[in-house]
């Protein structure tokens, strides 16, 4: 990897590598959080522009922070933001609510340059070093270095997970457990047995198609169970970790019934 190049080119090979990858969703729009995730040793960070409040300028600065701290950056974004996110230098895009192989093939078209796809070409954005890394070399690096991760989050998508995973150009398929649980009528209880059975079925179909399956894993037990089903791309959530740590810190030193920490 050229240390000067804005585009971190490691992610597709990481997804193909067969090893477990541990990453983290981050919806807090600040580059320092991304740096903290990198220095902590996560393999990747998902900058969450589906549920986060960051704008595109902040996203670009978060991508800079990822490059500086050595963590591969994925941006979860809506379809209309794909071109700009790629031009900012994301190593991958993670697209929600993909329900069919046809949708997946269309996303491949948006991510790849012609003749494979229809991505528009420009060398002035950050991904090409503002013109420092132009031309065919930029096109080739982008097509080889940018990962497309699609999310399956409905029962219909689980039924088609194997076909979606088999689409050339799809580098990983991530099962969104919370939306899947809601779509199945179980609300936020994605640990419900029917939801877990659907996740298992989806992950096994993705693995059978020779692709990398991903899922939310908030505990080591979650990760180990889903790894047995074929998953290799695991993510936790910054806000969950921060809130747990803050709760723990707030409780330290308190006596039962005490209104404030001891020593104050």
DSSP state of 123: S
* C-alpha 187, offset from chain centre: 23
Q: Is 138 a catalytic residue?
A: no
DSSP state of 145: H
**What residues contact residue 171 under an 8 Å CB cut-off, 6+ apart?**
11, 12, 15, 16, 92, 147, 148, 149, 211, 212
SS (H, E, C) 118-175: CCCCCCCCHHHHHHCCCHHHHHHHHHHHCEEEEEECCHHHHHCHHHHHCCCCCCEEEE
In the Cβ-directed half-sphere of 64, how many Cα atoms lie within 13 Å? 12
Active-site hit among 30, 51, 182, 186: 51
Quickly count: other Cβ atoms within 10 Å of residue 114's Cβ: 11
Task: Compute the C-alpha angle 67/127/41, nearest 5°.
Answer: 20
Helix (H), strand (E) at residue 85 = helix 82-88
Q: Which residues are catalytic, by number? A: 51
């Amino acid at each position: 990897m050229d240390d000067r190049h804005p585009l971190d080119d490691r992610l597709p090979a990481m997804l193909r590598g067969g090893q477990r990858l541990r990453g983290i969703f981050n919806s807090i729009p600040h580059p320092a959080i991304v740096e903290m995730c990198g220095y902590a040793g996560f393999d990747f960070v998902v900058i969450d522009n589906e549920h986060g409040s960051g704008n595109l300028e902040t996203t670009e600065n978060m991508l800079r922070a990822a490059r500086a701290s050595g963590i591969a950056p994925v941006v979860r974004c809506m379809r209309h933001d794909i071109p700009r996110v790629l031009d900012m230098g994301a190593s991958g895009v993670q697209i929600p609510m993909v329900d069919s192989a046809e949708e997946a093939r269309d996303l491949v078209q948006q991510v790849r340059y012609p003749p494979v796809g229809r991505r528009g070409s420009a060398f002035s954005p950050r991904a090409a070093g503002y013109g420092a890394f132009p031309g065919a070399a930029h096109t080739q690096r982008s097509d080889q270095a940018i990962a497309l991760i699609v999310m399956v989050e409905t029962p219909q998508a689980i039924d088609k997970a194997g076909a979606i995973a088999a689409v050339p150009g799809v580098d990983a398929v991530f099962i969104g457990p919370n939306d899947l649980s809601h779509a199945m009528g179980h609300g936020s209880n994605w640990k419900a047995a029917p939801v877990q059975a659907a996740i298992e079925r989806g992950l096994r179909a993705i693995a059978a198609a020779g692709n990398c399956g991903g899922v939310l894993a908030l505990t080591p037990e979650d990760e180990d169970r889903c790894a047995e089903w074929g998953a290799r791309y695991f993510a936790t959530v910054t806000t969950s970790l921060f809130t747990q740590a803050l709760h723990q810190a707030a409780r330290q030193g308190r006596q039962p019934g005490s209104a404030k920490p001891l020593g104050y």
